Amino acid sequence: MLVERYERRAYGIAFGMLRNREDAMDAAQDAFVKVFRNIGSFKGDSSFYTWFYRIVKNVCIDHCRKKSRAKLVEYDETYRRKDEDPGVLKMSGNTRDMQPGVAFEQAELGKVLNEALSRLTENHRSIILLREVEGLSYEEIAETMDCHLGTVMSRLHHARKNLQKVLRPYLDASGSDLSKRAGAGVRKTT
C-alpha cells in the first residue's frame, strides 16, 4: 500500500525540514492527502519519489508559514548568514570531553547530530539526507530538488564541510567500518 510504503520516508523528509515530531507527523499525513487528491496529475515523467518529495516539501513550507516558525532558510550559494558558523555550535552537555570513538556509541550523539542538522540550511540538510539516507544519485537529487548537477555537488560539499566542522570532535579516524566503503566510490554506470 502506498501509505505503508512511504510513510517513514514522508515523515523523514518532514522531520528533516521541520525538526519537530508532531509537526512532521502532521505534515506527512497532509502530504498523503495531497497525494490522493492529485495522483491524477502524476504523469510518470519523473520518478514517483521525486513527485512525492516535492509534495512533502511544499506541505512543510505551508506548515511553517501557518505556524509562523520561519525555520526554513532558503539557501543561496552567494548568501550566508553572517552569524552562521557551524564551527562554534553550542553543544548540549559536556560531550566534547568524550573519547573519540566512544562518543559514537553514546546516545548523546543523537542530540549532537540533531543539533548539527538543525544548524544547516534547509537545502544543505535536505541534500545531505537525500544522499546519505535516501541514497539518491546526483542526477536524482538534481531532479528532486530541481537544480543543476553542479549545484548538487556544490551544496553537498558545503553540507559535508559544515557537518564536519561540528562533528569533528566526535569523528573517529580509526573507525573500523570505514575501510568497508573505501574504494567503493566508482560510479556504476560509466
Smaller CB separation from another protein, 83 or 135 = 135
Amino acid in position 179 = S
Contacting residue, 20, 49, 115, 172, with another protein by CB under 8 A? 172
**Phi, psi (deg, nearest 5) at residue 79:** -125, 135
Do 145 and 127 meet the contact criterion of CB atoms below 8 Å apart? Answer: yes
Q: Considering the rule CB under 8 A, would residue 66 count as an interface residue with another protein?
A: no
Do 155 and 123 meet the contact criterion of CB atoms below 8 Å apart? Answer: yes
Site stretch for another protein (CB under 8 A), options 47-55, 61-69, 86-94, 126-134: 126-134
Q: Considering the rule CB under 8 A, would residue 147 count as an interface residue with another protein?
A: no
Do 87 and 165 meet the contact criterion of CB atoms below 8 Å apart? Answer: yes
Amino acid in position 84 = E
Q: Considering the rule CB under 8 A, would residue 63 count as an interface residue with another protein?
A: no
Contacting residue, 28, 56, 59, 130, with another protein by CB under 8 A? 28
Minimum Å gap between C-beta 111 and another protein is 10
Residues 162, 87: Cα–Cα separation, whole Å: 7
Listed residue (157, 105, 162, 168) closest to 131, CA to CA = 157
Q: Name the grid cell of 136.
A: 539518491
Contacting residue, 77, 132, 146, 148, with another protein by CB under 8 A? 132
Q: What is the sign, positive or negative, of the torsion defined by CA atoms of 145, 149, 151, 154?
A: positive
Residues forming the site for another protein (CB under 8 A)? 1, 3-4, 7-8, 11-12, 15, 21, 25, 28-30, 32-33, 36-37, 104, 109-110, 113-114, 128-129, 131-133, 137-138, 153, 156-157, 160, 163-164, 167-168, 171-173, 175, 177-178, 181-188, 190
